[in-house]
């Protein structure tokens, strides 16, 4: 059993080392940044005459048109004067909303006359008739 583990470990290490590539591959494309001329001067990629115009265009900041704001505060909403609802004949405690064009009935039983109630169809308030 001990020999088997030792031989398996040796085989794994041998395969691992043989898979390594010892040849160093040169880069196909040079890294971006400064490039050195083989002469005496160092040329910066950003200072080349053909790139200065592009660089200025990218660095130029253009302000958009200023947003016009309405600094005036809107007036307070006027209080609505609700209208009285109409009673339904032969049905005490039921009314029709003055804002509902279909004439649907609303149950107002238990509400005293003159109380504001909300129409469930239009969500506007009306007064319970006396």
- pLDDT tens for 84-102 read 999 999 998 999 998 888 8
Q: Rounded distance, CA 42 to CA 39, Å? A: 8
Is the pTM for the entire model greater than 0.85? no
How far apart CA 67 and CA 114 sit, in angstroms, is: 48
Mean pLDDT of the chain, nearest integer: 76
Q: What pLDDT sits at residue 36?
A: 56
Predicted confidence band of residue 108 (pLDDT cuts 50, 70, 90): very high
Lowest mean pLDDT among 51-65, 68-82, 86-100: 51-65
Task: Assess contact for 52 and 95: CB atoms under 8 A.
Answer: no
Q: What is the pLDDT of residues 19-53, one digit of tens each?
A: 666 666 676 776 676 655 555 555 555 555 556 66
Q: What are phi and psi of 9, to 5 degrees?
A: -65, -45
């Amino acid at each position: 059993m001990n020999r088997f583990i030792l031989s398996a470990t040796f085989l794994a290490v041998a395969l691992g080392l043989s898979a390594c590539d010892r040849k160093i591959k040169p880069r196909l494309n040079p890294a971006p940044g400064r490039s050195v001329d083989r002469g005496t001067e160092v040329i910066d990629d950003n200072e080349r005459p053909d790139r200065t115009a592009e660089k200025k265009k990218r660095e130029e900041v253009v302000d958009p048109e200023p947003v016009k704001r309405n600094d005036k505060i809107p007036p307070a909403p006027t209080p609505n004067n609700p209208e009285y609802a109409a009673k339904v004949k032969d049905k005490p405690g039921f009314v029709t909303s003055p804002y509902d064009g279909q004439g649907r009935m609303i149950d107002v039983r238990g509400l005293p006359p003159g109380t504001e109630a909300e129409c469930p169809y239009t969500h506007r308030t009306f007064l319970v008739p006396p």
